[in-house]
Amino acid sequence: MSGRNGFERGMWTHSMPDDLQTGYDPTLGNKFIFVTGGVMSGLGKGITAASIGRLLINAGFDVTAVKVDPYLNVDAGTMNPYQHGEVYVLKDGAEVDLDLGNYERFLDIDMTSDHNVTTGKTYQHVIERERSGDYLGRTVQIIPHITDDIKRRIREAAAGTDVCIVEVGGTVGDIEGMPYLEALRQFAHEEDESDVLFAHVTLVPYSKNGEQKTKPTQHSVKELRSIGLQPDVLVGRSEHRLTTSTRKKIALFCDVPTRAVFSNPDVDDIYKVPLVVEDEGLDEYVLEHLGLADRALTSDARDTAWRETVLQDADETIDIALVGKYALEDAYMSIYEALKHAGFELGVDVNVKWVASDEMTDTHHDRLNSATGIVVPGGFGSRGTEGKIAAIGHARTEGIPFLGLCLGFQMAVVEYARNVLGLDGAHSTEVDADTPHPVIDLLPEQHELDELGGTMRLGAHETQIESGTIAHEIYGDTSCTERHRHRYEVNPNYIEALTDAGLQFSGWCGPRMEILEIEEHPFFIGTQFHPEFRSRPGRASPPFIHFLEAAIAERHQTREVEA
């Protein structure tokens, strides 16, 4: 099969031994959309890319995505939420950039570690191969060894799907991104022209007198072209839609047809981006360019569930307090999204109010009182834990619906031990190594492992659910599979005392307690796992739906009392 310019596939690697050739099977027939960004980061390139994917799924195609993160970290596991937002966890336990969460939510797919290509992973793999002699004494170089590895990863992730969207993090011109752009250039060269589409997302700012400025776009396309990439499609992120004259100007100077220049204006909700992009006709253009138009469902037959979910009217707005330590929405992104999905399900808007856990003491309850539900999210380290415990105590004693996630679950156990069992100073050994009552601790076998490092429990694990409990009602089943990211557990020595005092553990996995509940409460649920990672628009997470339902009921009751 010949690629662009009639060049034979694999010719450029003619001097390489067979085992170093990429493992591409040409019969698979995948299509690829490569998405790059220009001008500045944080433009919502990932949301644009995911939106295209959603529309292709609605049109009947199997779509997957690969996020390329050009940083040297192997994964996002150790990254600071202040810099990168939350660490998102995949079912296989991979700790990845939160952008993968957007792909999972928009495409409604489960991704794996293979869908997140980082420079750290690529270099680590190539260097390991070099150490074990795989390169037979050759000089190991960025081109071809790193670029080959990048191409291999993309092809493997695409296997078995119709379309694979590859988003390159950062902006064109970043030194870190260069090997990826070179790999994509080669990739396109090896494929048929109609199998690859390059989309470039840039910023179109306004001048003081309200004119849309195309220069930044022109410069970033020039930068792309200087490394041998010609975009097929340009998407201009701007406050409003691009005017016809802006589109024409971009088309002329960036050498694309005017109908290949699309707008992506600001919207009030990211889930509306697929609808905006659809109105622009971007999906049709992509289908046509990739030769998929004939195989696509007709517009009448396309899946409209997304549109219906996103555009429904909300009856009311429910205030939920999120008691966490980071003053940054991105640090809790999946929780915000899961609450939004539950809102879609129940026909309400959710207004999440962040309450700083390190400023929360038991004299600050007024901050929580205006909310009809309290969420205490996951976290690591000691900062803000006393505030979380105070908020949980308030929710418990005042009958405010409560959802505790991971650290929030653990702190609910601590609160109960201190204030109901009277175990003064009870704590998690993560926070207080010398606590007289280590109600949250490492399991004995983890203590041994801890000396070797790497004890984090990650990814999807099955939880057994006790029949007849609230957890059973929530999940409608006697088991659930949710994602985890934690090290500490409920200490088995305290389970009996806690249970006798009214804190029920209704879900477990072997010796590990996974779900807690208090029957005599409007809604008091904690989970050691993170249900937020499996929540999707149109398929909200059960604990979030039930929590919000309880908050709505609480709100109506308060209104009745006031009236």
Q: How far is the CB of 550 from ligand GLN (least distance, A)?
A: 22
Cβ proximity to ligand GLN, 200 vs 485, nearer residue: 485
Give backbone dihedrals phi and psi of 149, rounded to 5 degrees, phi first.
-65, -40
Q: 377 is written with which tokens? A: 């999210």
Cβ proximity to ligand GLN, 360 vs 431, nearer residue: 431
Find the distance separating the first CA and the last CA of the chain, reported in whole Å: 75
Q: Which region among 166-174, 316-324, 375-383, 532-540 touches ligand GLN (by CB under 6 A)?
A: 375-383
Q: How far is the CB of 368 from ligand GLN (least distance, A)?
A: 20
| Cα distances (Å, whole numbers) of residue 289 to 31, 33, 242, 465, 498 | 10, 10, 22, 50, 62
Q: How far is the CB of 556 from ligand GLN (least distance, A)?
A: 32
407 binds ligand GLN (CB under 6 A): yes
Q: Which region among 13-21, 23-31, 374-382, 545-553 touches ligand GLN (by CB under 6 A)?
A: 374-382
Which of residues 380, 382, 419, 478 is near ligand GLN by CB under 6 A?
380
Identify residue 303 by its one-letter amino acid code. D
Q: Are 235 and 282 in contact (CB under 8 A)?
A: yes
Cβ proximity to ligand GLN, 70 vs 404, nearer residue: 404
Identify residue 205 by its one-letter amino acid code. P
- Three-class secondary structure assignment of 327-346: CCHHHHHHHHHHHHHHHHHH
Here's the x/- map for ligand GLN, 538-557, by CB under 6 A: it reads as --------------------
C-alpha–C-alpha distance, residues 543 and 482, integer Å = 11
Cβ proximity to ligand GLN, 237 vs 485, nearer residue: 485
Task: Using the structure block, give the residue that is written with the tokens 């433009």.
Answer: 43
SS3 content of the chain, % helix, strand, coil (to 5): 45, 20, 35
Which of residues 378, 387, 542, 543 is near ligand GLN by CB under 6 A?
378
Q: How far is the CB of 375 from ligand GLN (least distance, A)?
A: 12
Q: How far is the CB of 527 from ligand GLN (least distance, A)?
A: 10
C-alpha–C-alpha distance, residues 188 and 179, integer Å = 14
> In sequence order, what are the residues at sequence separation of 6 or more whose Cβ sits closer than 8 angstroms to the Cβ of residue 336?
322, 329, 352
Cβ proximity to ligand GLN, 306 vs 488, nearer residue: 488
| Residues present in the chain in total | 563
Here's the x/- map for ligand GLN, 417-456, by CB under 6 A: it reads as -------------x--------------------------
Active site residues: 406, 530, 532
Q: How far is the CB of 479 from ligand GLN (least distance, A)?
A: 22
Pick from 408, 442, 406: nearest CA to 514: 406
Q: How far is the CB of 352 from ligand GLN (least distance, A)?
A: 18
Q: How far is the CB of 456 from ligand GLN (least distance, A)?
A: 7
Whether the ω angle into residue 231 lies within 30 degrees of 0, i.e. cis, is no
Cβ count within 10 A of residue 408: 26
Cβ proximity to ligand GLN, 13 vs 455, nearer residue: 455
Cβ proximity to ligand GLN, 95 vs 223, nearer residue: 95
Residue ranges of alpha helices (H) inside 290-374 are 305-311, 333-346, 366-369
Given CA atoms 73, 76, 79, 81 in this order, what sign does their dihedral have?
positive
Q: Which of residues 50-109 bind ligand GLN (CB under 6 A)?
A: none
Pick from 161, 163, 51: nearest CA to 107: 51
Chain residue at closest Cβ approach to ligand GLN:
378
C-alpha–C-alpha distance, residues 377 and 391, integer Å = 12
The count of residues interacting with ligand GLN (CB under 6 A) is 11
Cβ proximity to ligand GLN, 346 vs 360, nearer residue: 360
Pick from 441, 39, 318, 68: nearest CA to 202: 39
Query: Which phi-psi region, left, alpha or beta, contains residue 57 (left: φ > 0; alpha: ψ -120 to 50)?
Result: alpha
Q: How far is the CB of 528 from ligand GLN (least distance, A)?
A: 8
Pick from 558, 544, 561, 543: nearest CA to 370: 558
Q: How far is the CB of 90 from ligand GLN (least distance, A)?
A: 15
Q: Which region among 306-314, 315-323, 361-369, 376-384 touches ligand GLN (by CB under 6 A)?
A: 376-384
Pick from 358, 363, 291, 361: nearest CA to 325: 358
Task: Using the structure block, give the residue that is written with the tokens 């555009």.
Answer: 311
Residue 27 burial (C-beta neighbours within 10 Å; 0-12, 13-18, 19+): exposed
Here's the x/- map for ligand GLN, 474-493, by CB under 6 A: it reads as -----------xxxx-----
Cβ proximity to ligand GLN, 16 vs 356, nearer residue: 356
Cβ proximity to ligand GLN, 44 vs 379, nearer residue: 379
Q: Are 339 and 352 in contact (CB under 8 A)?
A: yes
Q: How far is the CB of 141 from ligand GLN (least distance, A)?
A: 40
Which of residues 406, 470, 480, 515 is near ligand GLN by CB under 6 A?
406
Cβ proximity to ligand GLN, 158 vs 411, nearer residue: 411
Write out the residues near ligand GLN by the rule CB under 6 A: 378-380, 406-407, 410, 430, 485-488
